[in-house]
Amino acid sequence: MSKPKVLVADDDEDIRDAIVFILQRGGYQVVEAVDGREALDYVLASGLPHLILLDMNMPVMSGRELMSELRARGLTGAPIVVITAAYDAQRTAEEIGAAGFIGKPFDLEVLLETVGRHIGSGLIGPIPRREPSP
């Protein structure tokens, strides 16, 4: 069986390099994108990967924008794990309906574990309704 494919979209080359390195060592096939637009172009040309690792804050097209572009095209067949420096990474992920999240700065072990847990595990969910505040 071929290696599971992970699309890594992050505008920072130094961060992307470390992620790609560790994922490749972890046995994944990795495709890189420097922003959401490049990631979208890749998906449109080559189809969905097994998982998308998505930085939220990118020029040209942000992670959030990419997610709505994918949704609009019905391309919801790959789980998305967001990488964010926002204080509440978990809340951000839940708000936009991502499968999982990784807060910056992250542990590479946590990154591998999170990718492993979500790969092939699910689809992009609908944007969840906000729970009414108590």
User: Contact positions toward another protein, by CB under 8 A?
Assistant: 12, 14-15, 17-19, 21-22, 25, 85, 87-88, 90-91, 104-109
The Cα–Cα gap between 81 and 23 comes to 14
CB nearer to another protein: give 16 or 50: 16
Least CB distance to another protein at residue 2 (A): 23
SS3 47: coil
Q: Report whether 107 contacts 113 (CB < 8 A).
A: no
Least CB distance to another protein at residue 43 (A): 25
CB nearer to another protein: give 72 or 109: 109
H-helix or E-strand spanning residue 100: strand 100-103
Least CB distance to another protein at residue 73 (A): 30
DSSP string across 87-99: TTHHHHHHHHT-S
CB nearer to another protein: give 48 or 53: 53
Least CB distance to another protein at residue 69 (A): 24
The Cα–Cα gap between 49 and 85 comes to 24
CB nearer to another protein: give 13 or 41: 13
- Tokens (6 digits) for 45: 């040309």
